[in-house]
Amino acid sequence: MISAYFIHLLILVGIYAILAVALQLAMGFTGLLNLGHIAFYCVGAYISALLALAGWPFWFCFLSAGIGAMLFGFLLAIPTNKLKGDYLALATLGFSFVIYAVALNWTGLTRGPLGLPGIPKPSLFGFVFSNNLSFLILTFIIALTSYFIIKQIASSPFGKVLEAIRDNELAVRVLGKNTFKMKSYALGISAFFAGIAGSLYAHYITFIDPSSFTLLQLIPVIAIVIIGGLASLRGTVIAAVVLVLLPEPLRFIGFPSSIVGPARQMIYALLLILILIYKPKGFYGKIELE
């Protein structure tokens, strides 16, 4: 029998895999250095949680989380259209801080630092995913579906245009393509999947507060994308499995719980530094991070 703890880890693997393949579409395939990805995750989690607490069914909460996050993605694309590289990274990071500040200070809606407790477990067709094993199955179905949808997008003519924008946006514009529209679509689709990952997280943990959506939560997602390799979905999934499971032995060798969290972030940061120095394409990547 699989232990409850291992099932918990596999659920986190699934959620992080969705988050990372979503970021891969914007960052790896389109070349958008989006550090606001965690904000879409936050938006999705809060939309789903608030609707669920208001009595709406899970399927509606789940889709609304994705659509709401996607709208924020389109919104972010407008002011950042002409930004690239470090400037784009800083602008999207600022967007992430804005969303965090709203979640923290709009106490009438989000309850601020008190968070939203009592988020119900998902229910579909009368079946409640009340135990971790059933939730794991749901998570893996959604993760696999997300993977194959993004894979199809990346291999489609639209995906090839995104790669061309990443490599030489000016040349794509010269050929008559509307690069603003293409980048907006990429950011919106990426945000949609980050939003549904947030919905899954909220309904799994059954409690969310702003501390779940800080920059520290973005670090493992960035690490998964870069270590797995830019523009490599297979590498992203493998990296998600490895990086979620890798720090867990720290819990069993006497480290106090107050140390495990910071130690995990240190491991991710160290791996990122080593990969960027010695293997800039990641393990399965097609391009180097500039």
Residue 151: predicted pLDDT:
97
Task: Copy the structure tokens of residue 278.
Answer: 């010695």
**Distance in angstroms (rounded) separating the CA atoms of residues 63 and 178:** 28
pLDDT of residue 289: 66
**How far apart are alpha carbons 166 and 77 in whole angstroms?**
15
The DSSP code for 122 is P
Contact 69, 123 (CB under 8 A): no
Q: What's the DSSP call for residue 251?
A: G
Taking a C-beta distance cutoff of 8 angstroms, is the pair 22, 194 a contact?
yes
Token output for 81: 């259209």
Residues forming a β-bridge with 124: 127
The answer to whether residues 11 and 139 touch, using CB atoms and an 8 Å cutoff, is: yes
Angle at the Cα of 29 (from 181 to 18), degrees rounded to 5? 100
Q: What is the pLDDT of residue 248?
A: 80
89 near 33, Cβ under 8 Å? yes
For 49, the token pair is 């949680």
Residues in the chain where the model's pLDDT stays below 50? 1
Short-list 232, 249, 176, CA closest to 27: 232
Coil, strand or helix at 186: helix
What pLDDT is stored for residue 216 in this prediction?
87
User: Whole-model pTM?
Assistant: 0.94
- The pLDDT, as a whole number, for residue 211 is 93
Q: From residue 145, how far is each of 52, 62, 111, 247 by CA, in Å?
A: 23, 14, 33, 27
Task: Identify the pLDDT of residue 88.
Answer: 95
Rg (CA), the chain: 18
What 260-264 contacts at long range (C-beta under 8 Å, 24+ apart), as own/partner pairs, is: 264/220
- b vs e for 141-161, b when ≥16 Cβ sit within 10 Å of the residue's Cβ? ebbeebbeebeebbeeeebeb
Beta-strand ranges (E) seen in the chain are 123-124, 127-128
